Structure 1
């Protein structure tokens, strides 16, 4: 306080009242620049010297803002993709008719939101899909490498019943990887939410989707992952391999799955028996129907999966070959040959009832 008083008095300020915590100061008439208490502080600091004042950091409590459920879902899925060799990209949320025409997507879609004053023709439509820009990035990068994986997360925009709607999505493009690679990625995403899932063959009414290689994997009530290979015609336009596939996810339904915890069960001490079989069926038959309800045949069937679907050489037109994989196991004993043969026979009979003819 003594130092402060001396400095102020030398500057011709008059101290009218002083206490241990404050003082009243009369400002000389010629110091019109002094209006508030902070001005006096600056005067004292200027004379005393800032280098003589020890710096003290203010005490600030920083509270981390809790993440929203949408952000948690986005991060969880993004982490799975990054762990599977995907690179995240960021593109504009707009595109133009030229890109839509190249993708063979409709340019006069009534659900599109048109920008009134676009900077150029390439950014006159707000995106309704993340896929076009992903293909554009893939086309530029295919010059350097023939096999890579990229994804983008972001909003898509549309008009629904006259209202503007935003929907958060993640779309991943597997350049040079086929449908089954996309399926493996989708399975890992769903497993990260500790969910059992159902897979169903689905033919997507999209210009850039392969007419016969698509599926939807569903967990819970609404959460699903769409997977499909791209149409060979679109692959040729963007100079990417024909065996390129897409994984598409709408994030909102996954928010209800965040609280789910993994369920554990003991491994069986007894050996398992694997049984693979290929069946011929009508090309329009949904392959998931072949294994639906198969567990009712025997409680010893612990796994039933679709391994592959083949159309082409060796298979007649209008048909497809589906390879299925089954596993039999007991928690109480080693299975006998007789038990295994009976289950295999019952499975073949069940497949024939559903339209699948076993290939031997």
Structure 2
């Protein structure tokens, strides 16, 4: 299908997510690229997230009546036109002056949802003002329950529909690419929604700055349960990879789980999230809300994720590439491309709706039927 008209003059060859990455690599400076493209340590998990989608091949079904087909889905009471959400990405003004405002605007215009990072470079209230689709707010534990709940209630007051508590990064990953580049936030860009961080405890002589310092303020399962009990918004736990942790999340009162390895940015050598998706779906049952992210670049990736047990997916770096290339218009166009790819993949596999996508469509690549 034709590109949105203004993009024809910017770049007529923007026809897939990979094209936006190519343009973003040319437009962004080394500092921003180190933050965006880099991952933990040797970036093995970053690469695995991209490669894993080739592990499954599609086995289409033909000649079915597909009239009236669509990609709509229901998430936490909202109807979205497609199952592709924008994942939380920090400091988006690094990549475009409009930052998070542009991304949220584009998500809503295209009938989708977005998750705003705790470390957004734009006030959460300002983002909510331009969003026409559902917004969720990503939370990091703020050192104690009351501080965390206060930030959650601020998001609720601004109109956010759900909280996404990220639990897989109690300490920051060791990101060598950023270290080598000497990454630093430019003047005027900061985490504007976060108050001064809580005071870390003094590390005793011979102690560990990680175990006796940072982790002394990290949340436990009891804290998750407390937050679920005290928040009026539904809470999803992001960063789950183990089926037993998924079960503990639901037992603590979570409304759902996001299977994720944080884009390969925290712990290197982790499994790609989608590898654990079937086991987590089996552990939680068919009714639990289950999302996944990591390496999604094509509509066929979205279809595979749903076939493996996801209700919806999140994308991260691809929409930031589009943001850096063409602002809100770029993000909207990227979502348009991915939705159209998903529609075509569904049509060619014999699926009229997302409910028709099942594991029977997949085979391990190279395996016998």
- TM-score in terms of structure 1 length: 0.22
Larger relative helix fraction: 2
- TM-score in terms of structure 2 length: 0.22
Query: Relative contact order, CA 8 A, sep 6+: which one is greater?
Result: 2
